[in-house]
Amino acid sequence: MVQLSTEIRLKPKTLSEQTTKTNKKKKEEKSFSSLSPRSRTMACTNLTTMWVSSKPSLSDSSSLSFRSVLNPLPLPNHNSSPSRSSSVSPIQSSLRELRDRIDSVKNTQKITEAMKLVAAAKVRRAQEAVVNGRPFSETLVEVLYNINEQLQTDDIDVPLTKVRPVKKVALVVVTGDRGLCGGFNNFIIKKAEARIKELKGLGLDYTVISVGKKGNSYFLRRPYIPVDKYLEAGTLPTAKEAQAVADDVFSLFISEEVDKVELLYTKFVSLVKSEPVIHTLLPLSPKGEICDINGNCVDAAEDELFRLTTKEGKLTVERETFRTATADFSPILQFEQDPVQILDALLPLYLNSQILRALQESLASELAARMSAMSSASDNASDLKKSLSMVYNRKRQAKITGEILEIVAGANAQA
């Protein structure tokens, strides 16, 4: 509290002024004594009312000091500066928020455009890897199954081709390592959940081999789902990474810990289409085909190649359909070596090629989904930027119109 102390010095009066004041006071007393009692009462009442309602003057030091204690005079603070919010009108604040939001949308659009171009460059290499690897995989499967069919007449025990009663199933779930790819990871995880529910309904036991960071984080948060191993797919699948998965699958099936191995991955169909599928990996089918759990055989002899090109400064896709080059095998084969040795050499290669193919197709599907998602995000950012710019221009125009009206009204008032 700041108190204001006031010191008032009275100027000494002259003799003539004192004499005049004394005569005036005697005259007032004489006139007051000449009044009637009723008039005296009314005069006293009026004087009392006037004294109570009067404001304290500067000559009244006590009243001035009392008022200063109750309501101290604010002293100017030279260190404090006026707040920014008090000097900014609500319209200006709203315009600033809109500008900040438009800038944020522009920066986000730049990021999505960059991610779209990166995914488009990577998906081309991944697509070529899938297309180039399919002929080898198809040829290997046909050779292996032809040999297996020829050996069905002989009494040869091949563990990977032996079909036994199913009590436990191993599910190899292939997911991606990164997000921002739409519903790619969610679709394959939902497919795995549906398959787990079916196995539970059949009363079968199961275990999961998770491949991919997204699948690993999903199953780690659900300890009630038994997981045998967590593996990473990598940004560019290689035979070494596929061999790690194949070794684990091979050991589980040979040791009879599981009676069936199913492979769940996203099949790459085109840049705009991919579908989660389930294939039976082990045991081998007696026919020269790869079949899914419903008995539908996969025909990958015909592929569609999608090439990214640029026309008029925009990315376009050209589609080309061709047949995969596969060799025809004679049903009658002569083996120079022991057929069991040939199968022992081909079966690990078969597992490796099938898992590598699944990893490559899953990666191509992930990149295609990311490219599509980033393209949609860029389009949405462009639409949002346009709508925000329209709102900003309308508010700015309304502000300018209001200022002009105020200026005109002030000029008319002065006139």
The whole-angstrom separation of Cα 13 and Cα 42 is 33
In order of 8, 9, 10, 18, 19, the CA distances from 14 in angstroms are 19, 16, 13, 6, 9
Distance between CA atoms of residues 118 and 122, nearest Å: 6
The two three-digit tokens of residue 227, written as one number = 């997981």
pTM for the structure as a whole = 0.65
Task: Give the bridge partners for 265, in sequence order.
Answer: 277
Backbone torsions φ then ψ of 117, nearest 5 degrees: -65, -40
**What is the reported pLDDT for 384?**
93
Rounded CA-CA distance 216/269 in Å is 25
Measured CA angle at 29 (ends 26, 33), to 5 deg: 140
Contact, 249 vs 160, CB < 8 A?
no
Q: Which two tokens stand for residue 316?
A: 């376009």
* Residue located via tokens 């009314």: 42
Q: Facing residues of 391 across strands?
A: none
* Coil vs helix vs strand at 115: helix
Asked whether 258 and 170 are in contact (CB, 8 A), the reply is yes
The confidence score (pLDDT) of residue 88 equals 54
Q: Side chain identity at 163, as an amino acid letter?
A: V
Provide the pairing of β-strand 260-270 with 168-174: parallel
Compute the distance between CA of residue 42 and CA of residue 31 in angstroms, rounded to an integer. 15
Whether residue 116 contacts residue 109, with contact meaning beta carbons closer than 8 Å, is answered with: no
Structure tokens at 139: 């040829």
Pairwise CA distance, residues 403 & 398, whole Å: 9
Residue at token pair 């996969």: 298
Report pLDDT for 128.
83
* Per-residue pLDDT tens listing for the chain (415 residues): 444 444 444 445 554 555 555 665 555 555 555 555 555 555 555 544 444 444 444 444 443 343 443 444 444 444 444 444 445 567 667 888 889 999 999 999 999 999 989 988 888 888 888 888 878 877 887 777 777 666 665 666 677 777 788 899 999 999 998 888 988 999 999 999 999 999 999 899 999 999 999 999 999 999 999 998 888 877 788 888 888 899 899 889 988 899 999 999 998 888 888 889 998 888 875 544 444 445 444 433 334 444 445 555 555 545 454 444 444 555 556 777 777 777 778 888 888 888 998 999 999 999 999 999 999 999 999 999 999 999 999 999 988 998 899 899 988 888 7
The angle that helices 90-150 and 339-414 make with each other, rounded to 10 degrees, is: 170
Residue 333: per-residue pLDDT = 64
Q: Which of 390, 346, 282, 317 is nearest to 139 (CA)?
A: 346
**Residue 292 has what DSSP assignment?**
B
Report the length, in residues, of the chain. Answer: 415
Q: Are 399 and 95 in contact (CB under 8 A)?
A: yes
**Active site positions, annotated:** 181
368 burial type by CB count under 10 A (0-12 exposed, 13-18 middle, 19+ buried): buried
Domains, in order of start, for the chain = 104-326+334-387 (3.40.1380.10)
